[in-house]
Amino acid sequence: MDKQVLAFLEWAKKSKETRLPSFEELPRVPLYMEQVVGYINEILEPITGKEKTLTPFMVNNYVKAAIMKEPDGKKYHEEHLGYLMFICLLKDSLSMDEIATLIALDEGISKDKSKLYRFFFDMSREISDNVYGRTIARVEDFHGRYKKNNKWPYLRTAEKDLRDSMGLVALRLAVTASINQRLARKLFEAIEDDLYGPEGSKVAKSPTKKEEVRANKIIARQAERMAEAKKLGEDKRKKEAETKKKAKKVAKEEKGK
């Protein structure tokens, strides 16, 4: 668990220090789709990881849903890039209709896209510094205790204590995220009811049969993956136990000679 925690801390600190480009730093030359996708993914990789955060399919859907304006002759400007940065950082916690609702509110706040982007930029940085800072401090504290106790006669329990502690940190973050998301969802329901009317709000929130079937397939595949992962974990532990048993036997035989 030691190397996994160190890897997490390395990623968390790098992610915490990652700053979105300011509106003035966004490319001033209009970009084609592939350039847009490559640019956004490169900027967000330290935060989201190596998986593709944005794809051409996703961009086309955001335009189709009127979440953002259509490209100008297949070219995307700073406004598009700013919105895509915003969408990519929120799409894991907000549904498409909730993202669309936030962007729909923009017109009533300001028509200056650079001002809107700066507001999101500053808010993201403040929240990120706060959450990352507290989480890193907790993990470093637990890791420090591990290094202190990772010696005889605490060797056997130190690793387990560290793993359990990481689980508690993750649980705290998950509970906080769940409560925040629940509150945000209720606020969005109120805003959408006012913006679109009760019927429009209901349409935005109601998945089609096709979407439900797809969601069920995803859940089923996730269950299969977890079962496979647990099986691999059990095999790993059995192999480690056998290796330790053999090592003890060899040591005992050597001692008896």
Q: How far apart are CA 31 and CA 35, in angstroms?
A: 6
SS3 of residue 26 by DSSP: coil
Q: How far apart are CA 127 and CA 146, in angstroms?
A: 29
What is the pTM (predicted TM-score) of this model? Answer: 0.77
Q: What is the pLDDT of residue 50?
A: 67
Whether the link from the prior residue into 56 is cis, omega within 30° of 0, is no
Q: How far apart are CA 2 and CA 159, in angstroms?
A: 8
Residue type, 180: N
Would you give the distance in Å from CA 125 to the centre of its chain? 16
Q: What is the pLDDT of residue 257?
A: 63
Q: Largest alpha-carbon pair distance within the chain?
A: 86
Q: How far apart are CA 147 and CA 155, in angstroms?
A: 10
Q: How far apart are CA 199 and CA 204, in angstroms?
A: 9
Residue 24 gets which letter from DSSP? G
Instruction: Please list the pLDDT of the chain residue by residue as tens digits (257 residues).
Output: 889 999 999 999 999 998 889 999 999 999 999 999 999 999 999 888 767 789 999 999 999 888 888 999 899 999 999 999 999 999 888 888 888 888 888 877 888 888 889 999 999 999 999 999 999 999 999 999 999 888 777 667 888 899 999 999 999 999 999 999 999 999 998 988 888 888 887 777 777 777 777 778 878 887 888 888 888 888 888 888 888 788 777 777 777 76
Residue 69 gets which letter from DSSP? P
Q: Are 80 and 71 in contact (CB under 8 A)?
A: yes
SS3 of residue 208 by DSSP: coil
Q: How far apart are CA 243 and CA 236, in angstroms?
A: 11
Whether the link from the prior residue into 153 is cis, omega within 30° of 0, is yes
